[in-house]
Amino acid sequence: MKNLKTFLIGFLLLSVTGVFAQDPNFYIYLCFGQSNMEGVGPIEAQDKTVDSRFKTFQAIDCPNLERTKGQWYDAVPPVCQCNSGLSVVDYFGRTMVENLPDSITVGIVTVAIGGCDIRIFDKDIYQDYDSTYAEDWFVDKVKSYDWNPYQYLLDLAAQARKDGVIKGILLHQGETNTGDEHWPLYVKKIYNDMLAELSLEAESTPLLAGEVVGAEVGGCCSAMNPIINKLPNTIPTAHVISSDGCDVQDDKAHFTSEGYRIMGRRYGAKMLSLLGY
């Protein structure tokens, strides 16, 4: 009877805490935003070789990639949707594992929708923004996230963190909100909601937000960058990633593949510095 009692107590402790299943050396980053986070860069040969310590948590079923929602895979692009391209997070992860100890694995969880307003990630008003564009392509992407991208990301995060520890949040968004001075406040609410619902502390879960394509290369939405750069004034644990010198595709909105690589490395360098490397 005594042995049974001891077993039951131990089992209950394991069930309640759940932390014993987590690997403290598996660093997980939540990634969200619009098209430059989703990824629109052509995937080239050099992008297809990935260190097995860089993982992606599959957000949706992609038969064409032989990937199933809710499973970890080596982060060979595309890492967002079934037919997306190179993204700012691809070389973020590569940079991280290249510079962290071999014992550490990096995982990303990505939910992004090209063309979306940042407020589609606001849990209280997202329904006002899930049809920002009436085009089928936009509606289909929102639908793939069960019409609620914020909650979808949090549900994925809750599942993914059973395997590791959430260490930060990456954002690339702003093109659709160009000129809106309230953008930092929108982001602050979303960030604070994420922290609260996932029981995370801001000091140990920094937010990295990238600039959009800059004016020096003719970026169509470069007027948003001064607003993005105000974000740390609103969120003390936010850090802005410069897009200076990152080239643009013909559409003047999306980075070239090399531009994505540079942005990703900059995200990675900043996160490494925050981790003390």
Catalytic residue list: 35, 251, 254
Listed residue (218, 244, 251) closest to 114, CA to CA: 251
Give strand ranges (E) for 52-117. 54-57, 72-74, 105-112
Kindly state the tokens that stand for 56. Answer: 């992606």
- Burial (CB < 10 A; 0-12, 13-18, 19+), residue 78, is buried
Listed residue (273, 171, 176, 177) closest to 232, CA to CA: 171
Listed residue (24, 15, 9) closest to 166, CA to CA: 24
Alpha-carbon span 60 to 68, nearest angstrom: 7
Alpha-carbon span 26 to 84, nearest angstrom: 25
Listed residue (172, 198, 167, 168) closest to 187, CA to CA: 172
